[in-house]
Amino acid sequence: MRIVEVGPRDGLQNESVLVGTGAKVAYIEALAAAGLTRIEAVSFVHPRLVPQMADAERVMARVPRRDGLSYIGLVVNERGLERALDAGVDEVNVTVVTTETFSRRNQGMTIAQALDSFSVIAARARAAGLRVTATVGASFGCPFEGEVSPGDVATMARRCADSGADEIALADTIGVGVPADVRRLTAAVREVTGLPLRFHFHNTRNTGYANALAAVEVGAAALDASGGGIGGCPFAPAATGNIATEDLCYALRRSDVDTGVDLDGLVAAAAYIGERLGVPPPALLGRAGDFPPATTGRTAPGRTSRQGWVHVDSR
Amino acid sequence: MRIVEVGPRDGLQNESVLVGTGAKVAYIEALAAAGLTRIEAVSFVHPRLVPQMADAERVMARVPRRDGLSYIGLVVNERGLERALDAGVDEVNVTVVTTETFSRRNQGMTIAQALDSFSVIAARARAAGLRVTATVGASFGCPFEGEVSPGDVATMARRCADSGADEIALADTIGVGVPADVRRLTAAVREVTGLPLRFHFHNTRNTGYANALAAVEVGAAALDASGGGIGGCPFAPAATGNIATEDLCYALRRSDVDTGVDLDGLVAAAAYIGERLGVPPPALLGRAGDFPPATTGRTAPGRTSRQGWVHVDSR
């Protein structure tokens, strides 16, 4: 199972603490060192709207490059694509969203305009030799219009496939979906395209990991996750982080699904960015510890207080 | 799907802040008012070891009683059973654990002694007309001995079934399991007993909700959860709360599995106990809001900041 690391982009983009270029590069280096091979490192959007991504070019100029390590840049229009091409990304990710209200409010375009824009971006990116992902945002529900039909998602996926997408990503942007939705959506999209499917889950209502495991079962080619689960502060009223890479990879490893990543390395990367953000990352593996513990005979961290279990003496 | 509310017992037992009897009763009243019909309200253990449960009799004397509302008391020995009978519980839950080290450290008994003790307790409880659950603790892994084999879990389940259990609960006491484990364990236990299966998950490594949904798919009769997900402070190094009742019921409702509970009522109960504990409960539904929102046209709370999404303007 291919994990697409999105912490440097979707994670940091949603953190209010601005992180310096050097720290972003160090976070990316740590994630790559842990074995991640597809990293959504930056987005090319207006720095006034997303100040965290203002240094996208500088980040891309400093990240480690090697064979088999692919950097993705998120773009939303042709100007963004030009910046992405200049910055030397390996892939671009373009988001279209499922409802008119969300599309207008988030991207300032109708759905038709967004699909046209995707078509132009995809053609130019492919001409430049880049792989193109179409992310269908709010596939599992819209914050403005509510329920979204699988048929509408499939229609958008088909349009993007016809316009040259190499991969379709189904995104639960607001974290409302359940595994039954994953299966339903996948079936609908599979009817219209055979492109590889990537999934993007937020753990907003504690369903993100169940959804990810369900996506694996229905043949997902890739899963997005953010190192540390950053992107939604656990102390904020509405925690909305991506699912955490280390927690996802823990669950996959214990499910006998190979990801090729090193959990200790992921936990270290998460701890690093948590320190820069000034809050513990919401991921749980770093707090609870791996299981079984690496050292024979060592007690697993976790529920170790005396109160944590039942006790014999009830007199 | 029957939800067994364990917040008043397993949840509060693991909180360091002592909660008064009146607040415990109010929490239980709120949970019952939300539609929960099986509530593990107390444990009958030594007050020196578990001070939070010292007022078990006083709690039971004050909780609302009505037809169809069943209170469970956790007991670990005959003295506890006597207290439970005197206090008027409707059901007893008795824990046995899967490894010798854990059994000795947690209950001061060998596994053989614990199974003998269960047999005596079950016989007396049934003679008194009470339903008896055998919880097989650490079914998914032991903090001291590591991996636990499904065969060992099945052997313990069979022994408990032979001794008069009405229900077998499989507990992931330290929160290490994944859905594949749920399926494996269920298959192993199903080979030795046809008793109803109840599952008890902690979200220690973010796999608890996926496990719960997997348990539903393999025919679980009941799922434990705690209102608010209390039982493991989110700010502590090793968060170990039960899965949260409201988050679980949200996921089940969106999966078209009826639980008969009212999500708003659960969120209110969680907010109440969170206030008494002085920390926001780890459950996420109360922060993120229900979906789709109850009021037509209302924007779903959650990811509403401008930075939360992609933006059009990339100049």
What angle, rounded to 10 degrees, do the helices at A263-277 and A21-33 form?
170
Of A147, A237, A251, the CB nearest to B292: A147
Mean pLDDT, chain B, integer:
91
The answer, yes or no, to whether residue A308 has pLDDT greater than 90, is: no
Cβ–Cβ under 8 Å, residues B44 and B80? yes
Q: What is the pLDDT of residue A304?
A: 38
Cβ–Cβ under 8 Å, residues B177 and B140? yes
Phi and psi torsions of B212, nearest 5°:
-65, -45
What angle, rounded to 10 degrees, do the helices at B150-162 and B179-190 form?
40
Cβ–Cβ under 8 Å, residues A285 and A261? no
Q: Which one of A205, A233, A285, A299 would you mutate to disrupt binding with B, by most B Cβ within 10 Å of its Cβ?
A: A205
- Letter for the amino acid at A175? G
- Letter for the amino acid at B36? L
Residues 67-126 of A with CB under 8 A from B: 74-77, 79-80, 83, 95, 106-109
Q: What is the pLDDT of residues B113-152, one digit of tens each?
A: 999 999 999 999 999 999 999 999 999 999 999 999 999 9
* Residue B314 sits at the chain A interface (C-beta within 8 Å): yes
Cβ–Cβ under 8 Å, residues B272 and B27? yes
Query: Beta B38-44 vs B222-225: how paired, if at all?
Result: unpaired
**Nearest-5° Cα angle at B197, B193 to B198:** 150
- Letter for the amino acid at B54? A
Coil/strand/helix, residue B242 = strand
Q: What is the pLDDT of residues A185-223, one digit of tens each?
A: 999 999 999 999 999 999 999 999 999 999 999 999 999
Whole-angstrom distance, CA of residue A229 vs CA of residue A241: 6
Residue B60: CB partners within 8 Å, gap ≥ 6?
Answer: B41, B42, B71, B73, B87, B88, B89
Q: How confident is the model at residue A300 (pLDDT cuts 50, 70, 90)?
A: very low
Neighbours of A278 (CB within 10 A): 9
Q: How confident is the model at residue B241 (pLDDT cuts 50, 70, 90)?
A: confident
Chains A & B: contacts with CB separation below 8 Å = 278
- Letter for the amino acid at B314? S
Of A205, A254, A302, the CB nearest to B238: A302
Of A49, A206, A312, the CB nearest to B306: A49
State the distance between the two ends of chain B, measured CA to CA, in whole angstroms: 52
State the distance between the two ends of chain A, measured CA to CA, in whole angstroms: 52
pLDDT above 70: percentage of residues in chain B: 91
* Residue A228 sits at the chain B interface (C-beta within 8 Å): no
Cα→Cα distances A21→A55, A56, A63, A277, Å: 7, 9, 10, 13
Cα→Cα distances A53→A41, A58, A74, A141, A150, Å: 10, 10, 10, 26, 32
Cβ–Cβ under 8 Å, residues B3 and B245? yes
Q: Is A247 close to B144, i.e. CB distance below 8 A?
A: no
* Residue B283 sits at the chain A interface (C-beta within 8 Å): yes
Neighbours of A202 (CB within 10 A): 32
Residue B4: CB partners within 8 Å, gap ≥ 6?
Answer: B38, B39, B40, B72, B198, B222, B223, B224, B225
| Nearest residue to A212 (alpha-carbon basis) of A250, A260, A269 | A250
Q: Is B76 close to A311, i.e. CB distance below 8 A?
A: yes
- ipTM greater than 0.85: yes
Whole-angstrom distance, CA of residue B177 vs CA of residue B148: 11
- Decide if domain B2-308 falls under CATH 3.20.20.70: yes
Q: What are the domain boundaries of chain A? A: 2-308
Region B191-218: mean pLDDT is: 98
The answer, yes or no, to whether residue B18 has pLDDT greater than 60, is: yes
* Residue B295 sits at the chain A interface (C-beta within 8 Å): no
Residue B166: CB partners within 8 Å, gap ≥ 6?
Answer: B126, B131, B132, B133, B195, B196
How far is it between the farthest Cα atoms of chain A? 78
Q: What is the pLDDT of residues A47-105, one digit of tens each?
A: 998 999 999 999 999 999 999 999 999 999 999 999 999 999 999 999 999 999 999 99
Coil/strand/helix, residue B123 = helix
